[in-house]
């Protein structure tokens, strides 16, 4: 079986995988980082979004072996020394979650959005850019508010 090595949340990791092992399986089952969720497994919902080499991708639709040598950031890699990332803090304060299942993917997508489009985001842009992230609970309203707030704090 192939061995894959990558950097996850700043730490070098490696492990045995099959050709078909998905990145999300390697992260959750191989590394025990269960913050990244699988909502649909059909590339629609965005609960599995992580950053690979600085770009947001759906980790349920990526092969672990193909990420050899990559730098991966998951939701667990955001807080520093026990302090939440500003985007996490903004979700907490703006009540940007209910059950929380979509939240890790929402936050990873939100940070990617700020990286691409800057800290001043209007509501229409945020809503449009959330096309790849589905939430069954909140109705999105507070997610959008949280992202605008988090962006301005980043």
Ligand X SMILES: Cc1cc2nc3c(=O)[nH]c(=O)nc-3n(C[C@H](O)[C@H](O)[C@H](O)COP(=O)(O)OP(=O)(O)OC[C@H]3O[C@@H](n4cnc5c(N)ncnc54)[C@H](O)[C@@H]3O)c2cc1C
Shortest separation between residue 134's beta carbon and ligand X, angstroms = 10
Count of helix runs (H) and strand runs (E) in the chain = 5, 5
CA distance 41 to 47: 9
Among 56, 97, 130, 146, binds ligand FES (CB under 6 A): 97
For another protein, give the closer residue by CB, 52 or 154.
52
The neighbour count for residue 25, using CB atoms within 10 Å, is 17
For ligand FES, give the closer residue by CB, 41 or 71.
41
Q: Which residues bind another protein (CB under 8 A)?
A: 2, 18-20, 22, 41-43, 46, 49, 55-58, 61-63, 65-66, 68, 109, 112-113, 116, 129, 131-133
- Would you put residue 107 in left (φ > 0), alpha (ψ -120 to 50) or beta? alpha
The neighbour count for residue 136, using CB atoms within 10 Å, is 11
For another protein, give the closer residue by CB, 95 or 127.
127
Cα torsion 136, 98, 51, 14 to 10°: value is: -100
Site for ligand FES in 9-48 (CB under 6 A): 38-41, 43-48
> Which positions touch ligand FES (CB under 6 A)?
38-41, 43-48, 58, 60, 97-102, 135-138
């Amino acid at each position: 079986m192939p061995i894959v090595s990558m950097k996850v949340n700043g730490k070098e990791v490696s492990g045995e995988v099959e050709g078909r092992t998905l990145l999300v399986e390697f992260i959750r089952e191989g590394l025990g980082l269960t913050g990244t969720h699988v909502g649909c497994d059909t590339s629609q919902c965005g609960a599995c979004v992580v950053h690979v080499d600085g770009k947001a991708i759906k980790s349920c639709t990526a092969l672990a072996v193909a990420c050899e040598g990559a730098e991966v950031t998951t939701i667990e890699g955001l807080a520093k020394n026990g302090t939440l990332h500003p985007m996490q803090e903004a979700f907490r304060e703006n009540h940007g979650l209910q059950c929380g299942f979509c939240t890790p993917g929402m936050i990873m997508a939100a940070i990617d959005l700020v990286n691409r489009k800057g800290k001043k985001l209007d509501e229409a842009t945020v809503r449009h850019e959330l096309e790849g992230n589905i939430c069954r609970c909140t109705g999105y309203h507070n997610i959008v508010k949280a992202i605008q707030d988090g962006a301005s704090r980043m």
